[in-house]
Amino acid sequence: MRKNLISVIILAIGIVNLVLNALMVFVFLPTMKKTDNLITEIASILNLELEQNPDGTITAPNIEDVQTYALSEAITVNLKDSGDDMSAYVMVGISISMDGSAKDYESISTKMADTESWIFDVTRSVIQEYTYEEINQLDVQSEVKQRITEGLQERYQTDCIYDVTFSQFTTQQFKKQ
């Protein structure tokens, strides 16, 4: 009789466990679906900002359409003070890559020679926000290139400018006097 009673108690506990598990599934499943939908929407919004094509690829022009504009001279920029009693400078040569098949390429390319000061201004305003230690890191240099590209796209109001490269990049640090 005792074994029978223990079997009944174990069976009752198993049924209660099954009911509680089913209840948890029905309670948590809708919340998990809502959370998954929210995360999916956020990810799709972020992808829309980064991607230019609906299939998820970022387009670069064909190699035949790539046109570059190199600045006539390198620019020297004072770097942000890091508080260590040192002055730091960077000398940068800029080369701008453009899509020659873009509809506004002709007007932008002819305007660049006359407005190199705009390019110097955008470059200077971006670079001077970094310290000597920061600017020497490769990931920061990539960020600087991206910010300069975005600044030039905004200044010239065009998307034909798609990349900026450094033809020269030299940093130097001096003790303040």
Domains of the chain by residue range: 1-58, 63-175
**φ and ψ at 160, to 5 degrees?**
-70, -25
Residue 1's alpha-carbon distances to 4, 6, 8, 11, in angstroms, are 5, 9, 11, 15
pTM of the model: 0.64
Q: What whole-number distance in Å separates Cα of residue 140 and Cα of residue 51?
A: 21
Among 95, 69, 80, smallest CA distance to 134 is for 80
CATH superfamily assigned to domain 63-175: Band 7 domain (3.30.479.30)
pLDDT at 57: 41
- At 59, the pLDDT band (50, 70, 90 cuts) reads low
- At 93, the pLDDT band (50, 70, 90 cuts) reads very high
Q: How wide is the angle at C-alpha 86 spanned by C-alphas 82 and 91, nearest 5°? A: 90
CA atoms within 13 A on the CB side of 44: 8
pLDDT at 49: 46
Q: Is the pLDDT of residue 169 over 60?
A: yes
Residues 6+ apart with CB under 8 A from 116: 71, 72
For residues 105-114, one letter each, b for 16 or more C-beta atoms within 10 angstroms of the residue's C-beta and e for the rest, the string is beebbeebee
